């Protein structure tokens, strides 16, 4: 159970997980909140679109159609792995489903058969529509499956959920078959492995670096997590603190100064949370990814 992520937090969580995101114009205010409550959220639901072509699929999911007004999901996952965000609120994607399944998702245990349609899923689930004809023949490229894994893990990580908070439409509503072409058990296994890795860790999968030649480094290189220990006295700590103040993450009563302190750690934890990290990933100890994004000037 959780309060739905704001648009900013959803975007930050996806990008922190390495998802390539496209923001559809107006996605932040495109919702069905006037038709019913949005939240508390309990999980992530995966669908296929029964369409082909990215642009037309995104427009359909943003606007809906005569029988079902949009938005029809929160994000559309294209064949190339790009996630197109189309909503940050209640969306018409889950429909009525089984209350026993909902209870199992909340408890993060094995799902029972979905044999009833008595509970409003649009209130409780984030939804991703994946571009696929759903005929069992249309391929699921590796990039698209990876994006499903990453997007699902991003939301789970943001809420502190595990992989059993992710389900397919076919596991929620009787008669549904989506997603067709891979099993949700296999996808949950992938998500579980990803959640066991800190996205800021060098071992975690990362987006491909930009093709352009990087500019000469003008910022302090990451000194390593061990650098940030009690009693450390360095102008780098002061420079970091000033950047945290600029980013609106200050937890300083006085300062910042050159000696690493709890105020520095608390301020850095605020910066990690601003990037979308939660739990142990927002412990206030700098990691390489969050440090590089802070852009601490050379001292």
pLDDT tens digit sequence for 105-129: 999 999 999 999 999 999 999 999 9
pLDDT in tens, 26-76: 999 999 999 999 999 999 999 999 999 999 999 999 999 999 999 999 999
Return the structure tokens found at 230.
């009690």
Instruction: Tell me how far apart the alpha carbons of residues 292 and 111 are, in angstroms, rounded to a whole number.
Output: 41
Which pLDDT does position 230 carry in this prediction? 84
Which pLDDT does position 255 carry in this prediction? 80
Domain assignments of the chain as residue spans, ordered by start: 7-195, 225-294
What average pLDDT does the chain have? Answer: 93
Tell me, which fold does domain 7-195 have in CATH? Lysozyme-like (3.40.80)
Which pLDDT does position 209 carry in this prediction? 58
pLDDT at 217 over 90: no
Instruction: Tell me how far apart the alpha carbons of residues 116 and 66 are, in angstroms, rounded to a whole number.
Output: 26
Provide the 3-class DSSP secondary structure of residue 141: coil
Residue with the two structure tokens 């206030």: 284
Q: Name the β-bridge partners of 48.
A: 130
pLDDT in tens, 247-268: 999 999 888 999 999 999 999 9
pLDDT at 211 over 70: no
Q: What mean pLDDT do residues 233-238 have?
A: 94
Residue with the two structure tokens 């990690």: 272
Choose among 205, 208, 203, 126: nearest CA to 159.
Answer: 126
Instruction: Tell me how far apart the alpha carbons of residues 156 and 179 are, in angstroms, rounded to a whole number.
Output: 19
Which pLDDT does position 62 carry in this prediction? 98
Instruction: Tell me how far apart the alpha carbons of residues 60 and 72 are, in angstroms, rounded to a whole number.
Output: 8
- Reported pTM: 0.68
* Alpha-carbon torsion, ordered 98, 99, 104, 107, to 10 deg: 150
Are residues 182 and 125 in contact, defined by beta-carbon separation less than 8 angstroms?
no
Which pLDDT does position 282 carry in this prediction? 94
Choose among 137, 172, 229, 138: nearest CA to 45.
Answer: 172
């Amino acid at each position: 159970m959780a309060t739905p992520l704001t648009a900013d937090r959803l975007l930050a969580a996806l990008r922190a997980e390495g998802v390539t995101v496209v923001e559809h114009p107006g996605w932040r205010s495109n919702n069905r909140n006037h038709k019913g409550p949005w939240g508390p959220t309990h999980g992530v639901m995966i669908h296929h679109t029964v369409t082909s072509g990215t642009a037309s699929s995104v427009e359909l999911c943003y606007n809906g159609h005569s029988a079902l007004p949009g938005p029809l999901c929160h994000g559309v996952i294209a064949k190339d792995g790009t996630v197109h965000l189309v909503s940050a609120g209640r969306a018409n994607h889950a429909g009525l489903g089984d209350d026993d399944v909902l209870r199992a998702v909340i408890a993060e245990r094995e799902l029972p058969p979905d044999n009833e349609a008595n509970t409003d899923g649009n209130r409780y689930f984030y939804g991703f529509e994946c571009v696929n004809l759903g005929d069992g023949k249309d391929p699921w490229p590796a990039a698209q499956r990876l994006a499903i894994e990453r997007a699902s893990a991003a939301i789970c990580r943001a809420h502190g959920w595990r992989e059993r908070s992710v389900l397919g439409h076919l596991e929620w509503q009787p008669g549904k078959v989506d997603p067709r072409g891979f099993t949700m058990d296999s996808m949950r296994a992938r998500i579980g492995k990803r959640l066991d890795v800190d996205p800021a860790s060098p071992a975690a999968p990362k987006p491909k670096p930009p093709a352009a030649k990087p500019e000469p480094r003008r910022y302090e290189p990451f000194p390593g997590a061990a650098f940030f220990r009690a009693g450390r006295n360095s102008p780098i700590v002061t420079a970091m603190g000033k950047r945290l103040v600029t980013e609106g993450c200050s937890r300083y009563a006085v300062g910042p100064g050159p000696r690493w302190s709890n105020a520095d750690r608390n301020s850095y934890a605020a910066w990690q949370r601003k990037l979308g990290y939660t739990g142990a990933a927002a412990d206030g100890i700098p990691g390489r990814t969050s440090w590089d994004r802070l852009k601490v000037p050379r001292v």
